[in-house]
Amino acid sequence: MAKKRESQIVMLDHSKAKVELLEKYLQKYLSIISNDGFTEKINLFDLFCGEGIYENGGEGSPIVTLRVLKDLHFINKAKSKITPKVDLVFNDTDTTKIEKLKQIISEKKLHYEDFGKLNYRCKDYKEIVEKLSVYINGLKNEKAFVFIDPYGYKEIRASEIKALLASKKSEVLLFLPTQFMYRFDEKGTPQALIEILEELVDIKNWKATNSVYAFIEQFNNALREYLGKGFFVDTFTIQKDESTVYCLFFFSSHIRGFEKMLETKWEIDQDHGKGWSYEKTGDLFSTIKTNYLEEKLLSFISEKEKPFNGEVYEFALSLGFLPKHVTEIFNSLQDDDKIEVLSQTNGKVRRKAFYISYDNYKNDFKKVYFKIK
Ligand SMILES: C[S@@+](CC[C@H](N)C(=O)[O-])C[C@H]1O[C@@H](n2cnc3c(N)ncnc32)[C@H](O)[C@@H]1O
């Protein structure tokens, strides 16, 4: 039997960071969906669930998921609110792991019948994923969330993610060891990676990069292009040590769900001291770092005749930024008299009002537009 790596037995920091993102996102996701007045049931799938608790006591994805669910249930109960049923599927090819997980969940009383159904599977991911997209497609007034956390990347295909998202009823969170993907061996790109990339780009156009972060950016852009309009992708990188970088890719077909995921990402970044900080663009000779989002916004606005608030909201999110980041930049541009905000009817618009939010996106998409002065 192959010897297990340390990360398969004890929970290391990068795995903690991974489940922390899962936990925070699920808290937001479940609370929004359970209050949307439409969704009757939520389906959660953890396709590579593991055994639940590591030898050093670290809690893996199924335990974290159940804790979030339990909290939500009791919070809603205290407020006399109804929680929609949440059906769970925990899957892992390793039957010993599933047995161990079952035992932990029962001993720790982590699941109650009135949460919804709890199912265990011991199937190969490949066998499940195809049927799963058909199943999700057929859901009515229900939503799905799929967590994909393999050891490697060989099994995963972008077309599978696309199929899972196609019906616009689901969100997907995918963990990939990008470091191993980026480190091409001397003989060239490994076949498994070629197979993944070929779905996304013409392999001739794929540029070999000299940094894992450049690889992730290129991969992310290729995914965005591959999935097309109406689908959103962003990444969350986790550095295990100096030479190992993992990446969580999150996919959504709903802009609101995507915004929640971005909020979670920025919150975690802040907790870890890597929060987003805005530095103004300096003049030509300035050494001040150019702000990426500011540059993108300026060119977006100058290229369009009337870039409306709804479009700007969508554009910023598609780049992985939040409405508050846009507002911060617009405030500064307005102070420096570099941007004009106009209403549809060319009426006056209150200073510092930019209408960049989901509510405006939904109800007032064309409230104002922007012009470079
Ligand atoms: C990275 S671990 C999952 C860790 C878990 N999500 C957590 O947070 O603790 C990957 C798991 O996938 C299982 N596995 C490996 N190949 C699989 C396959 N083809 N289909 C389903 N599960 C598989 C392994 O047994 C292992 O438990």
Work out which ligand 1 atom sits closest to the CA atom of 147: 6
pLDDT band, residue 29 (cuts 50/70/90): confident
For the segment 164-175, the average pLDDT, to the nearest whole number, is 94
* Minimum CA distance residue for ligand 1 atom 26: 50
| pLDDT value for 202 | 78
334 lines ligand 1 (CB under 6 A): no
For the segment 170-186, the average pLDDT, to the nearest whole number, is 81
For the segment 85-107, the average pLDDT, to the nearest whole number, is 97
Q: Check pLDDT > 50 for residue 319.
A: yes
99 lines ligand 1 (CB under 6 A): no
Element (H or E) spanning 126, and its range? helix 125-137
| pLDDT value for 242 | 67
Select from 148, 151, 160 the residue to mutate for testing ligand 1; criterion: most ligand atoms less than 8 Å from CB. 151
Select from 49, 97, 160 the residue to mutate for testing ligand 1; criterion: most ligand atoms less than 8 Å from CB. 49
Work out which ligand 1 atom sits closest to the CA atom of 59: 9
| pLDDT value for 272 | 52
* Ligand 1 center from residue 99 Cα (angstroms): 14
127 lines ligand 1 (CB under 6 A): no
- For the CA atoms of 250, 177, 14, 225, the dihedral, rounded to the nearest 10 degrees, stands at -20
Q: Where in the chain are the domains?
A: 6-271, 292-372
| pLDDT value for 281 | 44
* Ligand 1 center from residue 90 Cα (angstroms): 10
| pLDDT value for 271 | 57
| pLDDT value for 226 | 92
Work out which ligand 1 atom sits closest to the CA atom of 18: 8
Give residue for tokens 């076949």. Answer: 191
Q: Check pLDDT > 70 for residue 14.
A: yes
Dist. CA 353–CA 326, nearest whole Å: 12
Per DSSP, the residues of 288-357 read SPPPHHHHHHHHHHHHSSS-BHHHHHHHHHHTT--HHHHHHHHHHHHHTT-EEEEETTS----TT----S
Lowest mean pLDDT among 30-44, 228-242, 314-328: 228-242
Class at the top of the CATH hierarchy for domain 6-271: alpha beta
Lowest mean pLDDT among 55-59, 124-128, 241-245, 366-370: 241-245
pLDDT band, residue 15 (cuts 50/70/90): confident
Q: Check pLDDT > 50 for residue 273.
A: no
Structure tokens at 157: 């295909």
92 lines ligand 1 (CB under 6 A): yes
Q: Check pLDDT > 70 for residue 176.
A: yes
For the segment 163-177, the average pLDDT, to the nearest whole number, is 93
pLDDT band, residue 217 (cuts 50/70/90): confident
Residue 61, φ and ψ in degrees, nearest 5:
-55, -40
Work out which ligand 1 atom sits closest to the CA atom of 50: 27
The number of angstroms, rounded, from the C-alpha of 196 to the middle of its chain's C-alpha atoms is 19
Q: Which of the two residues, 264 and 233, has the higher pLDDT score? A: 233
156 lines ligand 1 (CB under 6 A): no
* Minimum CA distance residue for ligand 1 atom 10: 150
For residue 163, give Cα distances in angstroms to 137, 241, 253, 262, 340: 9, 34, 12, 22, 42
Residue 60 identity: G
Dist. CA 188–CA 183, nearest whole Å: 10
Element (H or E) spanning 249, and its range? strand 244-252
Work out which ligand 1 atom sits closest to the CA atom of 64: 8
What would the pLDDT profile of 282-309 be if each residue is shown by its tens digit?
433 333 334 888 999 999 999 999 999 9
Per DSSP, the residues of 77-109 read HHTTPPPPEEEEEEE-S-HHHHHHHHHHHHHTT
What would the pLDDT profile of 339-371 be if each residue is shown by its tens digit?
999 998 777 899 999 999 999 999 999 999 999
Work out which ligand 1 atom sits closest to the CA atom of 150: 10
Work out which ligand 1 atom sits closest to the CA atom of 19: 8
| pLDDT value for 340 | 94
pLDDT band, residue 62 (cuts 50/70/90): very high
- Most confident range (mean pLDDT) of 2-16, 121-135, 285-299 is 121-135
For residue 335, give Cα distances in angstroms to 191, 210, 281, 325, 331: 53, 40, 14, 16, 6
pLDDT band, residue 17 (cuts 50/70/90): confident
Per cent of the chain over pLDDT 90 is 54
| pLDDT value for 51 | 96
Intra-chain end-to-end CA distance of the chain, in Å = 68
50 lines ligand 1 (CB under 6 A): yes
Q: What is the DSSP letter of 71?
A: H
* Ligand 1 center from residue 248 Cα (angstroms): 15
| pLDDT value for 270 | 66
Per DSSP, the residues of 212-239 read HHHHHHHHHHHHHHHH-TT-EEEEEEEE
Greatest extent of the chain over all pairs of C-alpha atoms, in Å? 73
25 lines ligand 1 (CB under 6 A): no
Q: Check pLDDT > 60 for residue 105.
A: yes
Residue-averaged pLDDT of the chain? 87
* Ligand 1 center from residue 168 Cα (angstroms): 26
Structure tokens at 113: 């019948």
363 lines ligand 1 (CB under 6 A): no
